[in-house]
Amino acid sequence: MKKTYVDVLLALPPDETLHQFLASHGLAVPPAPEPQPDGPPNRDVIEAIKAWGDTAARDRLTAELMASVALGDAAGGQAMFEAALADPAVLTGLAMCQSDLHRSFWLYVRHRALFERASDLDFWAHHSAQAQQFDLGVRYRPIETDAALAGLRQAISAYYQRERQCGEGCVAYLVTRSPGIHLLTVHVKDLAMLRLEFEGVVLKQRVGNPNIHMVLEYAEATGVVRTLVRGGHKVQQMLVQAFAEHVLGVQATPERIKAPALDLSALRMGFDVPEVFEDGFSLVQLKSLALLSPDGELKIECTAMQASRHRSVHELLREQLPAQRSAGSHPNRRPSSCSSLAPSPCHDAPCMQASVVGCSAARRSNVAVVSVACA
């Protein structure tokens, strides 16, 4: 369930940081909020916000309060400590906070720039699995000067103005996550949009420009970059080439690194386990079968349960469905041979999945040997 500003205030200690935040928004509060021994913390603050007559100011306060705890989880806590590594005083302050939510609020109020850097690190941590990899073929140290970043911003803005008629504004900054690992964050102004929003108690159409967010991570030791940006391969190539030209100072032709793929075509006609008995197993059990129709609209799964006493699923199907010969039955099949039952590529028939489970002769306990999915 989504937290409200009341939940946040109940989780925050009534310290000087909270007082500073409330005072910056013009909310009349006691000089130093004190905990209430007979009630929840910050009860007076919550009541003061609810009774505040200035709707616009109250909305601004609650919006910033919710934004200030965006890093209030374990991943956000790690990002905050990483962003503050170069400042021992900030590290000490973070360590003295009572929780990750308190750390997030404290960093937002006291050190806004570090909070923004930590937010970028947290964004990368949550979405890096979707990043694309490119090999630049060079291993140079980034040029961390204002002129280099200005050239990068101009190149990115020029691309978006040429291709999408937007990008008049661009913000970019480079941070070093660890020795040899650098993270580039870029924000680009997108096309204007009309949004229906409340301003106070009045519903208005507001003109705004969304943010195009892109991130690039570069490793000096390998010359590999990982990019996280929407827009397809062309935008990724633009970002990587602009980074190489302006931040590394070289002209590079990035080559995309594709994730390795497993070739399961050899398993279409089944698989054999001839060494199973030599390895000390007393039997091979076909544990489960999954049948998927060619159009993908129907899937049937059959699994041999523990009560089957190590009997294969095709044997159980033959007993439970005596009117039809099950797809897995094969009277001449050796006990150590199991077929995935997938047809050859030239036939339009269901694909199969099979899991083989071996049973040790000594311990009689199930041991997974292989699990295969064949299309």
Query: According to the 3-state scheme, what is the secondary structure of 107-125?
Result: HHHHCHHHHHHHHHHHHHH
Distance CA 109, CA 26 (A): 15
How many residues comprise the chain? 375
Query: How far does the chain reach from its first CA to its final CA, in angstroms?
Result: 40
Residue 38 has a pLDDT of 59
Produce one character per residue of 214-253: b if its CB has 16 or more CB atoms within 10 Å, e if not: bbbbbebeebbbbbbbeeeeebbebbbbbbbbbbbeeebe
Amino acid residing at 266: A
Alpha helix ranges (H) inside the chain: 5-11, 16-24, 43-50, 55-68, 74-83, 88-96, 100-110, 112-127, 146-164, 233-243, 313-320
Produce one character per residue of 113-126: b if its CB has 16 or more CB atoms within 10 Å, e if not: ebbebbbbbbebee
Q: Closest Cα to residue 183, out of 217, 214, 229?
A: 217
DSSP structure class, residue 88: H
Produce one character per residue of 273-296: b if its CB has 16 or more CB atoms within 10 Å, e if not: beebeeeebebbbbbbbbbbeeee
Distance CA 303, CA 288 (A): 4
Q: Closest Cα to residue 117, out of 177, 66, 170?
A: 177
pLDDT along the chain (375 residues), means of 10: 87 91 84 56 88 90 95 93 92 94 96 94 92 92 94 96 94 91 96 91 91 95 94 92 95 85 59 64 74 81 82 81 51 40 38 43 39 40
Residue 170 has a pLDDT of 96
Contact 242, 232 (CB under 8 A): no
Tokens describing residue 193: 């949009």
Distance CA 215, CA 298 (A): 40
The rounded radius of gyration (Å) of the Cα atoms in the chain is 30
Residue 304 has a pLDDT of 86
> What is each CA distance from 275 to 312, 333, 354, 359, in whole angstroms?
19, 16, 19, 13
Residue 277 has a pLDDT of 65
φ, ψ of residue 335 in degrees (nearest 5): -60, -25
Distance CA 113, CA 117 (A): 6
Type and span of the H or E element at 284: strand 281-292
